[in-house]
Amino acid sequence: SGYYDAYYKKAQQMRALVTEDFREAFKNVDILISPTCPNTAFELGAKSSDPLSMYLTDIATISCNLAGLPGISVPAGFDSTGMPIGLQILAPQFEEARLFNFAHRFEQENDFYTKLANV
């Protein structure tokens, strides 16, 4: 079990570093915004034979989960083929109200959530 203990300890150290990086970032900003995914949506089943590719579509959401941050993804438009683009909004720990208020305001200023993807 020594190997697993060392692996777990290293993972916890990395988690602490990620959490501290976000804590530092939130000293300067109220909200962080990024793409939800590194690419736009793909057709259903298009990547089912490539598990790594499927996993990598979630890469932008992993660090905030490690840090225990509240986050939400909202519609932010469409690519040139009509597929949806997601915008990830993050807030500091325990600031869900700030997150929801910002996401609501974003949706009020845009009408992306009222449109359907071209699938």
User: What's the pLDDT band for 1 if we cut at 50, 70, 90?
Assistant: low
Q: Which domain holds residue 62?
A: 2-114
pTM: 0.84
Share in percent of the chain as helix, strand, coil (round to 5): 45, 15, 35
How many domains does the chain contain in total? 1
Q: Establish if 18 belongs to a structural domain.
A: yes
CB 56 within 8 A of CB 43: no
Q: Establish if 119 belongs to a structural domain.
A: no
Q: Establish if 82 belongs to a structural domain.
A: yes
User: What's the pLDDT band for 7 if we cut at 50, 70, 90?
Assistant: very high
pLDDT digits 0-9 by tens, 44-83: 777 778 878 777 888 888 999 999 999 999 999 998 888 8
